[in-house]
């Protein structure tokens, strides 16, 4: 029988925490909301909020949010025009109402992300473990940092995951298409559709994505042309590639070399190595019908390949961690190493800590090495999902409409 926690004392502690899951979640939410009101600026949300109306005035990509700190760089609007179009209703609200609404939407998206992760594992009825994950996730760096900034990644990840967990091909494809229209990285989900042979969902995702382009082009043709043909390939508008917060392969390599090497032969070699590890994980997960594993591998690969993936963009670490902890990988040394790595990196806020240390003391080699944490954890996750022992015979990955309802599992 599978268990969801290590034996012995850890199992007893896990059982105690589950009995208090509701109370722990309520306390965690209350503290988070108080700290959000008192100590956060949500300046990424301010970029969406203040920048979106500029779409109608033809100067969306000239807009910059100037922050109070004179040392902080001004923040431009960096997403496709369709994203600005979606934020127009929010921009019509007073700032306090908009910020409150967005925080509630983001928290609901986090809850949906955890719930759908358990559903794709075949354990959709596990309410107490899901509440514990929610209480914990609020304090893990990609989640907490993203909530404090008012980032959009939680909402997009929930849109993708909910469509795949609950939807037929149209809903699954539409969720991915809309998410990719807002921010390009979710387009990597097309690889998931191809691996699971969901051809209709793949076609719907492409069709909806191009529909978002067409709608934005009809509303703001000049800004659409400017984004897709002038600004898209310029990562410097987003920030410094070598920044410690950039956890993509390109960012980690830039810090190691001391300069941005772009798509150099060394980057290509690393990209091929990570792709090979991802391919092994995808093959194993497809053989055993592990839909969550298939999805998180494709999403993590997209974050690695993106020129800039700030640490708060790495929301998909959470479904990956749930997959590792509650799946067969937890029984393997590589799986336990990956779980420990993700917890150390995210619960210890390793990325911002190394960034602050490098700013104060200089970019020493050990700080550069530590700041490979998300790519290294991703590689360990790929290998753990590829080689962890599985009980029973292999089974092909079911399509959403063919998937059986999850069997009840022990809490």
Q: Annotate 41-62 with three-state secondary structure.
A: CCHHHHHHHHHCCHHHHCCHHH
Selection from 250, 237, 189, 190 nearest residue 374 by Cα: 250
CB 165 within 8 A of CB 61: no
Query: What is the domain extent for residue 309?
Result: 58-387
Quote the crossing angle between the two packed helices 291-305 and 373-387, to the nearest 10°: 150
295 lies in a domain?
yes
At 227 the pLDDT is 94
Contact 3, 11 (CB under 8 A): yes
Residue 41 in domain = no
Q: Which residues 6+ apart lie within 8 Å of 1 measured at CB? A: 410
Please report which helix (H) or strand (E) contains residue 376, including its range.
helix 373-387
Count the domains in the chain. Answer: 1
| 134 belongs to a structural domain | yes
In a domain, residue 49? The reply is: no
Dist. CA 2–CA 139, nearest whole Å: 28
Strand extents, DSSP E, 347-406: none
Q: Which residues of the chain have pLDDT under 50?
A: 1-7, 397, 401-411
3-state helix, strand, coil in the chain (%, to 5): 70, 0, 30
> Does the residue 68 lie in any domain?
yes
Residue 18 lies in a domain: no
Whether 205 is covered by a domain: the verdict is yes
Q: 100-120, pLDDT tens digit by residue?
A: 999 999 999 999 999 999 999
Report if residue 347 sits inside a domain. Answer: yes
Output the six-digit token pair for 161: 């995951």
Report d(CA 84, CA 88) in Å as an integer: 6
Q: For the whole model, what pTM was predicted?
A: 0.90
């Amino acid at each position: 029988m599978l268990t969801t926690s290590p034996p012995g004392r850890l199992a007893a502690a896990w059982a105690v925490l589950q009995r208090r899951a509701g109370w722990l979640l309520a306390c965690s939410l209350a503290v988070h909301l108080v700290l959000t009101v008192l100590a956060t600026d949500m300046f990424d949300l301010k970029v969406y909020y203040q920048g979106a109306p500029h779409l109608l005035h033809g100067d969306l990509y000239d807009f910059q949010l100037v922050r109070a700190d004179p040392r902080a760089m001004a923040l431009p609007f960096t997403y496709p025009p369709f994203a600005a179009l979606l934020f127009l209703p929010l921009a019509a609200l007073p700032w306090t109402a908009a910020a409150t609404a967005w925080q509630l939407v983001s928290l609901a998206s986090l809850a949906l992300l955890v719930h759908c992760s358990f559903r794709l594992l075949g354990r959709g009825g596990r309410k107490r473990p899901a509440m514990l994950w929610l209480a914990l996730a609020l304090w893990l760096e990609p989640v907490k940092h993203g909530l404090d900034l008012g980032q959009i990644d939680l909402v997009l990840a929930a849109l993708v995951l909910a469509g795949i967990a609950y939807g037929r091909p149209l809903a699954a494809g539409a969720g991915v298409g809309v998410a990719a229209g807002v921010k390009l990285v979710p387009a990597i989900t097309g690889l998931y559709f191809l691996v699971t042979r969901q051809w209709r969902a793949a076609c719907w995702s492409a069709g909806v994505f191009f529909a978002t382009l067409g709608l934005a082009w009809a509303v703001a043709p000049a800004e659409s042309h400017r984004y897709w043909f002038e600004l898209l390939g310029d990562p410097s508008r987003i920030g410094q590639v070598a920044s410690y917060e950039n956890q993509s392969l390109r960012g980690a390599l830039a810090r190691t070399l001391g300069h941005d090497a772009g798509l150099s032969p060394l980057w290509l070699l690393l990209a091929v190595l990570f792709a090979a590890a991802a391919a092994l994980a995808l093959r194993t997960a497809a053989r055993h019908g592990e839909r969550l594993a298939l999805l998180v591998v494709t999403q993590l690969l997209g974050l690695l390949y993106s020129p800039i993936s700030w640490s708060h963009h790495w929301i998909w670490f959470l479904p990956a961690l749930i997959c590792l902890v509650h799946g067969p990988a937890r029984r393997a040394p590589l799986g336990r190493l990956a779980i420990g790595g993700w917890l150390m990196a995210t619960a210890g806020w390793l990325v911002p800590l190394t960034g602050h240390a490098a700013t104060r003391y200089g970019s020493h080699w050990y700080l550069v090495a530590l700041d490979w944490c998300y790519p290294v954890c991703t590689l360990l996750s790929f290998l753990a999902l590829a080689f962890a022992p599985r009980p029973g015979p292999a089974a092909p990955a079911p399509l959403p409409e063919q998937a059986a309802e999850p069997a009840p599992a022990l809490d």
